[in-house]
A and B are shown apart, each in its own frame.
Chain A
Amino acid sequence: MADHAGPPAAQETPTEPADPPAAAPAPATPVRDGIGLGLAVGVSGLAYGAAAVSSGLTVGQACALSLLAFTGASQFALAGTIAVGGSLAAGVVSAVLLGSRNTLYALRLAGTLAVRGPARVLAAMGVIDETTAMATAQPDRAASRTAFWATFGTLYLTWNLATLAGALGAGRFGSPQNLGLDVVGPAAFLALIWPRLRSGRAERAAAAGGALIALATAPFLPPGVPIILAAPAALAVAWATRGRAADGTAGDGAAPGRVAAGDGAAR
């Protein structure tokens, strides 16, 4: 399916019958995969906790950030700014800026999660890279929700416990790099977008554009900003392929935003 570039109507050609749209890794095991990812990534909380305390944060402050901000890149940014003696205001601004991609993720997940009231207040806390990647990789909406909550729950617990452990034992742990944990994030994200990279040219264009923008700007901008600059790549591709926008979902006015799952199959 790699070079499947035809018009939308020609997408589901029976050239590879053994290759259903969501074939590769993620589908059908949202709970197991979510818990696995939550555990593997959550362990990096050790590194964050240790870094935060050696930056000058107290154990309580390090833990408060994990409990209340719960978005690793922003937490590292604030700790890092404090560590190098930067102004607190600058630290807060860069940390919050880094968190802005979660808004875009939440826009995407709103229709899938369809949460209201207290559930929405809780779900919002869980909208981060890992949960979005896991939820959007599922073959249908129910699996997407399951994947979101399984990943969120596991990662929240693990991340916070690891933060506490890292903060208390700062410096006594070996580097998480020795366990290859720094590769867990990118490898997991790659596995999760893999089916979508295989499924359409628009997805590949958005991914390639986003990656190139980020790499080209990384040397010149504060960490994290290059990631959010990838969003225009998605917008450009959405614009360029607007003719086939939302194929298969255009008629279902009943559930706007429910572009969620399932639509992988529509492409």
Chain B
Amino acid sequence: MTAVWAAVLATAAGCYGLKLAGLVVPPRLLERPLARRFAELVPVALLAALIAVQTLTSGQSLQADPARLAGMAAAVAALLARLPFLAVIVAAAGTAALIRLC
């Protein structure tokens, strides 16, 4: 087995282990109101961070890609118009693709 294979398998084991760890935590640890509230808010905070990073950075530098920004603006418009989920996605990706075509 090569070193690269070892790295691949170590990464896979680590990533899977981290997922499983969260699922096997004894439920009573989450009984405290503060812990519940935290678990409840974590996806919102992390996904918002992910949205910001995916929209406004490229690699490690802050970058405002016009097509990407326009795509996200289209998503916001679609959300405000209460379009269904898939329509929001299509509007965002379509807008970004169109602007890159031009």
Residues of A near any B CB (own CB < 8 A):
23-26, 29, 32-33, 36-37, 40, 56-58, 61, 64-65, 68-71, 74-75, 78, 82, 88-89, 91-92, 95-96, 99-111, 113, 115, 120-121, 123-125, 127-129, 132-133, 136, 177-194, 196-197, 202-203, 206-215, 218-223, 226-231, 233-235, 237-239, 241-242, 245-246, 249-250, 253, 256-257, 259, 263
Contacts and interface: CB of A to CB of B under 8 A. Distances in A.
B25 to A, nearest CB: 6
B18 to A, nearest CB: 5
A127 B82 contact: no
B21 A106 contact: yes
Contact of A121 (B5, B14, B20): B20
Contact of A120 (B5, B24, B61): B24
The dominant DSSP class at the B interface is: helix
B11 A78 contact: yes
B16 A69 contact: yes
B45 A233 contact: yes
A187 B16 contact: no
Nearest to A32: B86
- Most A CB contacts (10 A, CB to CB) among B6, B14, B40, B59 go to B40
Given A120-B23, A182-B68, A246-B36, A96 B18 contact: yes
Contacts of A120: 20, 23-24
B45 A207 contact: yes
A102 B85 contact: no
A239 B59 CA distance: 33
Residue among B5, B33, B40, B48 with most chain A CB within 10 A: B48
Interface of B: 3-16, 18-25, 27-28, 30-31, 33-34, 36-57, 59-62, 67-68, 71-72, 74-76, 78-79, 82-86, 88-89, 91-98, 100-101
A73 B56 CA distance: 16
Which 4 pairs from chain A and chain B are nearest by CB? A106-B22, A210-B45, A187-B92, A180-B96
B14 to A, nearest CB: 4
Contacts of A68: 9, 12-13, 16
Given A123-B23, A129-B46, 14 more contacts: A57-B4, A96-B10, A99-B15, A99-B19, A104-B43, A105-B42, A109-B23, A127-B19, A136-B43, A180-B100, A207-B45, A210-B44, A211-B48, A257-B39
Contacts of B94: 180
A178 B18 CA distance: 34
Contacts of B9: 64, 68
A233 to B, nearest CB: 5
Contacts of A238: 34, 37-38, 40-41
A88 B16 contact: no
A111 B26 CA distance: 10
Nearest to A227: B49
Contact of B33 (A58, A113, A250, A263): A250
Contacts of B39: 104, 107-108, 257, 259
Nearest to B95: A180
- Which of B30, B45, B60, B71 is most buried by chain A, counting CB atoms within 10 A of its CB? B45
